Structure 1
Amino acid sequence: MRRAIGLLPENALVGLITYGTQVHLHELGFADISKLYVFRGTKEISKDQILDQLGLSSGGRGLVKGAVQRSGMPMQQQQNVMGSSSVNRFLLPASDCEYTLNALLDELQPDQWPVEAGNRALRCTGVALSVAAGLLGACLPGTGARIIALVGGPCTEGPGMIVSKDLSEPVRSHKDLDKDAAPHFHKAVKFYDNLAKQLVSQGHVLDLFASALDQVGVAEMKVAVERTGGLVVLAESFGHPVFKDSFKRIFEDGEGSLGLSFNGTLEINCSKDIKIQGIIGPCTSLEKKGALCADTVVGQGNTTQWKMCGLDRSTCLTVFFDISPSDRSNPTGTPNTHLYIQFVTNYQNSEGQLRLRVATVARKWVDDSSSTEELVEGFDQETAAVVLARFISLKMEVEEEFDATRWLDRSLIRLCSRFGDYRKDDPSSFVINPNFSIFPQFMFNLRRSQFVQVFNNSPDETAYFRMLLNRESITNSVVMIQPSLLSYSFSAPPTPALLDVASIAADRILLLDAYFSVVIFHGMTIAQWRNLGYQNQPEHQAFAQLLQAPYDDAQNIIKDRFPVPRLVVCDQHGSQARFLLAKLNPSATYNSAHEVAPGSDIIFTDDVSLQVFCRDNGKFKSELFEFKFRLLPDPPQFPIPSQPDL
């Protein structure tokens, strides 16, 4: 916190809220002694009640924040806000209150209310966020502001509660959610949904930094964070590098800055031949309906305008369009050969300046009934994989008993049947254009990823993964779906390696970039030489350089990424080698251990390999190419995830 305050611009307005059993709003403008306002943590409190208790209800101008606000308003607006003595009690420029804040942090103590044996600590996260949102709502309209919530455990009382204080009640799991056996989940989601609506109407952002070994309620808070365009970081503790380095980056300026912007809107205009279904990503529908809105809705739909309270230089939205079956002709009778889409974006940058960006694109209509060559040439495999990943993640959240694996398999087979060349009843004859060559591999890794397979992940982790997938760039999202692997050895410079267990060798070092984690994996021989200290001997400088190279590359990856990924350093056959093995194609398992090359490794799994996945999809081609789908029973000996049972 001290480090963050030191990085803020001098004119950035800052406030502080702490909470535990109760919520404490600190009055920074009274520097003589520590003075604070206390709110009960057991009941929901409205914005009007908050302002009444603070004596701000009749002030008209109000206040700005519950955590930290960057310099997000024009100077004239700052002067207007600062003209209110009521606001000055709670909100001061960073240069004026740095000493007071540091003194408050020095005096800060754990919650004084005792925690009985067998109980969790009382934590009223929901009320604290309500107080912060209420204060923000009293500021001037159009002012960019952020609530930065540092959450160290689950909310155990008041609105937004995800689990009771009794330790005998476990925190909800995916199985509980599937069986509707999570008693607090729907009520908490409703509370955060209302909080999201309030923040969106005010144009303010909720950022979430969750640092705890247990779940803290990210799954419930997802709606408020995502709809306001907030940042989210999930770490094990406040001392972990994932939290510390990520928290520092949001305050950095210059090249290391995230380019945070505020209070944006997006409007889409397009030709009458297409309709807008909706958007998946960090935004909220403004419910501006019109003739361009499609009947079917995907994500935030039924509108042509969206609110983006927070955005940065890497924010990426997925827009879905519906092709209208109407006649594509203009009044003169000449067919329209092109369609047009225009994106109009307004936002306020970190300096408080307003920006307007307009991007207009033209695309050509293609008659796919006669030829598919132009469609094939325009196919982007990486973008298609990311769009499918975001779409299927949404369907898994909103549709009960949705079989994501089967849906992906059917989609892949339909694509191959449409654009592949083959002889009927001869799967070995199948060939496909190079523009589609990597797409089946993307689908194989997607169906094994944390976005589809929620087993062994908590609801908080699943929500965290999907929030980042929905907002990151195509390049970063592809790495989430299919990690990249580099190989380091004496015989060659660093080279890309297949994401396969066969890439493991005793005399190699592997660097895996899985976006959320970066893994440096030492082969068995490399690890033994390192443990013997050969790298410290002058005659083995080449070995020292080999050991250092993946560390340097890993730091370059970590430096440019937000949230900062977890760095895992492990050895072959070590306990943390699972971080690498879980991402590799299991081409060698315990069933084929006799075929493994010396020094390589095997994966103890029943998952199918990429080769089996492609081969078994081909078994059904003769029927699937004609779209004669029929369900086949799942044999009990099939591995999980199984080959497509179509």
Structure 2
Amino acid sequence: MQRQQEMNTQEQEQRTLRTAANEQTPNVETHVEPEPAALNDGVTGPSCAQDVAAYCQTEANVLALLHEAPDLVEPRRIVEAVRKMHLCMVTHADVLSVDCVNTLSATTVDTTTADATTVDAATPTITASVPTKKMALDDDAADDDSSMEINIYYSRHHNGAGHALRSGGALAANHIQTGGPSSVMTGVLSHPLTWVFVLPFFLDGVRFSWNSWPCTKLEQTRCVMPTGCLYQPLKPIDGMPPAVEYDPIHCKACSAVLNPYCQVDFVSKLWVCPFCVTRNHFPPHYAENITQENLPAELIPQYTTLEYELQNRQAGPPVFVFCIDTCVPEEELEELKDSIQQTLNQLPPDALIGLVTFGTMVHVHELGFPEVPKSHVFRGNKDFTAQQVFDMLGLAAARKQQQQQQTPGQPQQPQQQVSNSARFLLPVFECGFTLESILEDLQRDPWPVAADQRPQRCTGVAMSVCVGLLEATFRGQGARIMMFVGGPPTVGPGAIVSRDRKEDIRSHTDLQKDKAPLTKKALVHYNDLAARCVASSHVVDIFACSLDQSGVMEMAACVQKTGGVIVLADSFGQSVFRESFRRMFSKFSDEAADCDKDQLTMAFAASVEVLTSREFKVAGAIGPCAPLKRQGAAPKNVSEVEIGVGGTNAWSMGGIDPNTTVAIYFDISNQTPLAPGKARYIQLITRYQHASGRYRTRVTTICGPWTVDPNDTATLGRGFDQEASAVLLARIAVHRSEQGEEQLDIMRWIDRSLIRLAARFADYRKDDPSSFRLSPEFAIFPQFMFHLRRSQFLTVFGYSPDESSYYRHCLLRESTTNSLVMIQPSLLSYSFNGPPVPALLDAASVRSDTILLLDSFFYVVVFHGDTIAAWRDQKFHEDPSHENFKNLLEAPQADAQLIMDSRFPVPRYVVCDQHKSQSRFLMAKLNPSVTHNSMDGQGEVIFTDDVSLKVFMEHLMNLSVKS
């Protein structure tokens, strides 16, 4: 009772503080957010986290929203409810920060009832989470694999994981994302776990594998799953203010940035850092203005994520160098030139551009000489050092000037562009006409190629020249090298195959048997270029468009370490390339803040730094990053245990965009139990160059609880995010595979981790598999692991090395939602029986009278059953009396277009019929519950020796309960 009264008093003081702050006029140093009108100051606040969720649902009018939309919730209203919940829960941050997980009950919403407020107190089991007949295929399928498989959409919603809410409800009107029935959305919006665990993703763009952490290193080991988070540095956050135009204040001891969790002494003008408990004085311009009624933006509770626009540094406009392969066929070159010419209109007028073409030779074109086309030529079979490139391009003076500007002890001066560098890199508004003229006259490589020979393609030398060009002119400033490659490099450093077509390009088998002699040399060459790009803050993008391999595997390090992108397509005329290249230059919407409006969403020269409380350290990161080298001793919060790219707490990320996601792993170093109520703190500091040319710093500060009782597995389990954990585990597996570890060893590690997790957190009786039950927080995690083991990320059979590198690259940089779609594709079923419904990713879902829509991220498949295909071939949809059939055919195509319109890279679109050749795109992803060895039941027969999900789960249960 006393604790509740103290919290209520504290809550009332915070409301009074912000109400008084509204009466102040914000000045340059301070910024005050108006108190939302939806909050009622006269109502006594809740005392625990679960009460907060229920209280805020009432404030946001969530249940009334659901009753008003019985069929489908409008996306706009969902977004508004999320925003209200955000503001309401931040108001009660004093309760949530300490008591967030510890007081949450395991109650779940019974979505089968008509009343959304009905709660089933019994903990659902793995069987109870299986969709009812409304969501399943029919009663006959109850005894097959569907009795063991948890549908990905329904389970996510039912367990409060918030798949639709994570997208802000923007696609809630579409059956693909919502999973169809409104009862599913009812379960999402009315479940307290949704708001407590999923809402932080809205606020800060961070998802943790464990929302409540074990307090000792021993307990962390027993939890099996890695302790980490998935962080989107540029995630658009609803309600976040525009970038403030002043520099952040740092702690003098640990360099943490001032944040809402700092304790402030308004009398002495001091603030206490929550990371190192150091007392810091406010600078004079803060001390003169800060009061309890007038807070700067960084101390307002809502702004746990805040951006600063630095005032003493300015980089200048972004730089783009287009590097074009001229060994491609003439029609391919025309398509590529057309795409680049169209893209010039999307670039900011002040963006600097350069042009390099390569084939047998490398040509660096002078855009500053419009009178006549002029280029500098480099031999394609010779390696050039950085200094040789500087000298041959006449840029040695520019490089020397840069080194003088960066000499320690001298004042930092703005970037000066000397006349020599201006010959090659000019603003779009100055050289646009010249560049278009050069592109129009550009011809394919003139050197003759015999029928039994490959073209002389010097991709490695071309990339080296581009890196040297940017090193000499814009070292340390954001720039992108865009490589357009149409085949394998055959000459010079970086070559992966000889010119003789009798020699096959390396395969996975050749790599395993060490029969690819050129691969090792190529990897060394591209790794050296990657290191130079990281040191210069430059990005490499690869657009490989060919039916043959293009050396993406060898060049992948240049892309992965610099934050670039890879687009793999069959030709430059394919929509996969054309649309993906166009979306590379997407801009902020008209509703964005004035400082972002009409600017590119991509950012440059990015880095991320992680600060932590004393009880745990940073183990490493996996994603589009490279370790940031620093002088002096290593930071104190760096763990000796390395996961991924470890040994540091700061990484260079190069190019980032709103979807870029990095996985950060932690190691709990504390050895003794902690006091109840103690919180942990993490601060993520992202520094980057905005497309406007200004430097920005985004600071995200997160506070979370500890689980003090080592025997309290229930609290730990309720804080488990199975989706984030699956992605974190998948990234570790892919990273280990990229490091050359055997596939079988990785599979065994995944299996053992899953068995240990189930043995610790499942409910069962020893040696009794029939008693095995998983709580909703763990129910679909085994399913994720089943599909991960079968995925293209770990299984290389049937894929080329280039394809494997591309798939892994995408998994290591995409968001949690996209990564889950890659691991376990989504499947929708369309029929005359009702609206589209989620279907089990199972062979039993294939029926002759249905249409299936598969989204695997890399391709979108519209699959027609035999009966549907026959009716379509007979043109029944053209008969006005069969308008329903016409609508049925058009619905999945429209939904597929919605998926492709919102995705980068653009997925391949496949339309196929049952028993036709391209149906393999669907069949390869389905759970083989019906095979040539067991042809009982309904559904399509899959010819495979892979075990089904049912067998996989049976083995898991047997091994987990074993004494």
TM above 0.5: yes
Alignment of 1:260-279 (within 5 A): 260-279=602-621
Aligned equivalents of 1:494 and 1:474: distance in 2?
A: 24
1:579-607 CA deviation, whole Å, 9 max, x = no partner? 000011111112222x233xx42111111
Q: What letter matches 2:615 in structure 1?
A: D
Quickly say closer, same or farther: Cα 1:622–1:382, change in 2 above 3 A.
Answer: closer
Aligned equivalents of 2:957 and 2:607: distance in 1?
A: 46
**What residue number does 1:633 align with?**
none
1:99 Cα offset (Å): 2.0
Does residue 659 of structure 2 align to residue 318 of structure 1?
no
**What residue number does 2:521 align with?**
187
Quickly say closer, same or farther: Cα 1:62–1:45, change in 2 above 3 A.
Answer: farther
1:62 Cα offset (Å): 8.1
1:291-312 CA deviation, whole Å, 9 max, x = no partner? 2111122222111111111000
Does residue 481 of structure 2 align to residue 139 of structure 1?
no
8 Å Cα contact 1:519/1:580 also seen in 2: yes
Aligned equivalents of 1:132 and 1:62: distance in 2?
A: 19
**What residue number does 1:303 align with?**
648
**What residue number does 1:340 align with?**
681
Q: State which of 704, 723, 748 in structure 2 corresponds to 1:382.
A: 723
Q: What letter matches 1:524 in structure 2?
A: D
Larger Rg: 2
Q: What letter matches 1:324 in structure 2?
A: S
1:617 Cα offset (Å): 2.5
1:362 Cα offset (Å): 1.9
Alignment of 1:550-565 (within 5 A): 550-565=892-907
1:31 Cα offset (Å): 1.5
**What residue number does 1:447 align with?**
789
8 Å Cα contact 2:510/2:516 also seen in 1: yes
Q: What letter matches 1:295 in structure 2?
A: E
Quickly say closer, same or farther: Cα 1:31–1:42, change in 2 above 3 A.
Answer: same
Does residue 883 of structure 2 align to residue 549 of structure 1?
no
8 Å Cα contact 1:316/1:473 also seen in 2: yes
Quickly say closer, same or farther: Cα 1:224–1:273, change in 2 above 3 A.
Answer: same
Percent pairwise identity = 51
Does residue 563 of structure 2 align to residue 214 of structure 1?
no
1:255 Cα offset (Å): 4.1
Quickly say closer, same or farther: Cα 1:425–1:499, change in 2 above 3 A.
Answer: same
8 Å Cα contact 1:61/1:140 also seen in 2: no
Q: State which of 941, 950, 954 in structure 2 corresponds to 1:615.
A: 954
Corresponding pairs, count: 602
1:142-201 CA deviation, whole Å, 9 max, x = no partner? 421110100111111111111111222211111122222211112111111111111111
Decide which moves more: 134-143 or 146-155.
134-143
Decide which moves more: 90-99 or 512-521.
90-99
1:505-558 CA deviation, whole Å, 9 max, x = no partner? 111111000000000001111111111111111111111111111111111100
1:368 Cα offset (Å): 5.5
8 Å Cα contact 2:762/2:775 also seen in 1: yes
**Secondary structure at the counterpart of residue 516 of structure 2:** coil
Does residue 777 of structure 2 align to residue 432 of structure 1?
no
**What residue number does 1:293 align with?**
638
1:363 Cα offset (Å): 2.2
Q: State which of 565, 573, 577 in structure 2 corresponds to 1:231.
A: 565
Q: What letter matches 2:702 in structure 1?
A: V
Quickly say closer, same or farther: Cα 1:542–1:56, change in 2 above 3 A.
Answer: same
**What residue number does 2:881 align with?**
539
1:331-355 CA deviation, whole Å, 9 max, x = no partner? xxx6883222111111111111221
1:414 Cα offset (Å): 0.6
Alignment of 1:575-614 (within 5 A): 575-593=917-935, 595-597=936-938, 600-614=939-953
Alignment of 1:21-36 (within 5 A): 21-36=360-375
Quickly say closer, same or farther: Cα 1:533–1:190, change in 2 above 3 A.
Answer: same
8 Å Cα contact 2:478/2:605 also seen in 1: yes
**Secondary structure at the counterpart of residue 854 of structure 2:** strand
Quickly say closer, same or farther: Cα 1:117–1:418, change in 2 above 3 A.
Answer: same
1:206-229 CA deviation, whole Å, 9 max, x = no partner? 011011111111111111101100
Decide which moves more: 400-409 or 244-253.
400-409
Aligned equivalents of 1:505 and 1:145: distance in 2?
A: 51
Does residue 810 of structure 2 align to residue 476 of structure 1?
no
Quickly say closer, same or farther: Cα 1:109–1:368, change in 2 above 3 A.
Answer: farther
1:356 Cα offset (Å): 1.1
Aligned equivalents of 2:398 and 2:783: distance in 1?
A: 61
**What residue number does 1:642 align with?**
none
Alignment of 1:147-166 (within 5 A): 147-166=481-500
8 Å Cα contact 1:62/1:87 also seen in 2: no
Does residue 863 of structure 2 align to residue 518 of structure 1?
no
Q: What letter matches 1:460 in structure 2?
A: D
Comparing both chains, which one has the higher relative contact order based on Cα–Cα distances under 8 Å and sequence gaps of 6 or more?
A: 2
Aligned equivalents of 1:287 and 1:108: distance in 2?
A: 41
Aligned equivalents of 2:824 and 2:888: distance in 1?
A: 26
1:441 Cα offset (Å): 0.7
Quickly say closer, same or farther: Cα 1:538–1:407, change in 2 above 3 A.
Answer: same
8 Å Cα contact 1:62/1:139 also seen in 2: no
Does residue 473 of structure 2 align to residue 128 of structure 1?
no
Provide the TM-score with structure 1 as the length reference: 0.90
8 Å Cα contact 1:171/1:215 also seen in 2: yes
**What residue number does 2:738 align with?**
397
1:281 Cα offset (Å): 0.4
Aligned equivalents of 2:887 and 2:400: distance in 1?
A: 61
1:452 Cα offset (Å): 1.2
Aligned equivalents of 1:62 and 1:244: distance in 2?
A: 39
8 Å Cα contact 2:620/2:665 also seen in 1: yes
1:378-427 CA deviation, whole Å, 9 max, x = no partner? 10111111111111111122243352222211111111100012111211
List gaps (5 residues or longer) in structure 2: 1-339, 403-412, 591-598
Aligned equivalents of 1:35 and 1:56: distance in 2?
A: 16
Aligned equivalents of 1:150 and 1:622: distance in 2?
A: 54
1:351-379 CA deviation, whole Å, 9 max, x = no partner? 11221111111222214532111111110
**Secondary structure at the counterpart of residue 263 of structure 1:** strand
**What residue number does 1:573 align with?**
915
**Secondary structure at the counterpart of residue 187 of structure 1:** helix
Q: State which of 95, 105, 111 in structure 1 corresponds to 2:429.
A: 95
1:618 Cα offset (Å): 2.6
Quickly say closer, same or farther: Cα 1:545–1:258, change in 2 above 3 A.
Answer: farther
Q: What letter matches 2:445 in structure 1?
A: D
Aligned equivalents of 1:254 and 1:620: distance in 2?
A: 51
Aligned equivalents of 1:233 and 1:400: distance in 2?
A: 26
Does residue 510 of structure 2 align to residue 176 of structure 1?
yes
1:576 Cα offset (Å): 0.4
1:213-259 CA deviation, whole Å, 9 max, x = no partner? 11111111111101100011111111111111101111232449972
Does residue 46 of structure 2 align to residue 46 of structure 1?
no
